[in-house]
C-alpha cells in the first residue's frame, strides 16, 4: 500500500465534474484507491463518495492505493490533481 499527500489546486475543488474525472480515472486501475480527508475515507472509484468529502481548493487530501498497479494509479491521479483536472489554463 502506498500513500501520497495531494493538494487541491483547481478553483472549484472536488465538485461533480472533477469527481467524475477522478472516479473515471480510478476505475482504470485494478488497485483499491481511497481518498482521505478530514478523517473521512472514501473509495476513489465512487463518484458520490468523492462528493461527500466536499473538499475545496487549497485543502490537502491523502491518496491511498493498494494493489498491483498502485504506483501507476497514484502517479496518474496525482497528475490529474496537478493539472487542475484540465479545467483551467
Partner 1 sequence: MAKDVKGIQLTRVRELNQLKITRAFNEKWLPNLVRHPRPQRPGLGLTGYLKHIQDGRIQIFGKTEAGYLSNLKEEEMGRCLKNYFSLRLPGVIVAENIEPAGEWIAMAARYATPILVSELHTAPLISRLSAYLYQYFSKKIKLNGVLMDVMGQGVLITGASGIGKSETALELVNKGYQLIADDVAEFYIDSNDDLVGRANEAIKNLMEVRGLGILNINDIFGASAVLEEKKLNLVINLEKWDAKKKYDRLGEDNQCFKILGLEVPLINLPVGPGRNLSTIIEVALRNFLAKKSGRLTYLEACQAASTLPPGNREGAGGETT
Secondary structure percentages of the chain, helix, strand, coil, to 5: 40, 25, 35
Residue 62 sits in the site that holds partner 1 (CB under 8 A): no
15 is catalytic: yes
**Contact of 85 with 17, CB cutoff 8 Å:** yes
Residue 12 sits in the site that holds partner 1 (CB under 8 A): no
Residue 55 CB, nearest distance to partner 1 (Å)? 11
- Active-site hit among 3, 9, 13, 15: 15
Residue 41 sits in the site that holds partner 1 (CB under 8 A): yes
Residue 47 sits in the site that holds partner 1 (CB under 8 A): yes
From the list 44, 6, 49, 3, the residue with the least C-alpha distance to 27 is 44
Q: How far apart are CA 41 and CA 88, in angstroms?
A: 27
Q: Which residues sit at the interface with partner 1, rule CB under 8 A?
A: 16, 27, 39-43, 45-49, 51-52, 54
Q: Which residues are catalytic?
A: 15
Amino acid at each position: 500500500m502506498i500513500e501520497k499527500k495531494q493538494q487541491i489546486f483547481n478553483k472549484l475543488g472536488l465538485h461533480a465534474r472533477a469527481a467524475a474525472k477522478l472516479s473515471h480515472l480510478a476505475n482504470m486501475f485494478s488497485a483499491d484507491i481511497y481518498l482521505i480527508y478530514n478523517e473521512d475515507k472514501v473509495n476513489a472509484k465512487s463518484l458520490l463518495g468523492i462528493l461527500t468529502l466536499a473538499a475545496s481548493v487549497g485543502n490537502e487530501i491523502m491518496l491511498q492505493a493498494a494493489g498491483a498497479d498502485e504506483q501507476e494509479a497514484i502517479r496518474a491521479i496525482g497528475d490529474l490533481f496537478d493539472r487542475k483536472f484540465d479545467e483551467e489554463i
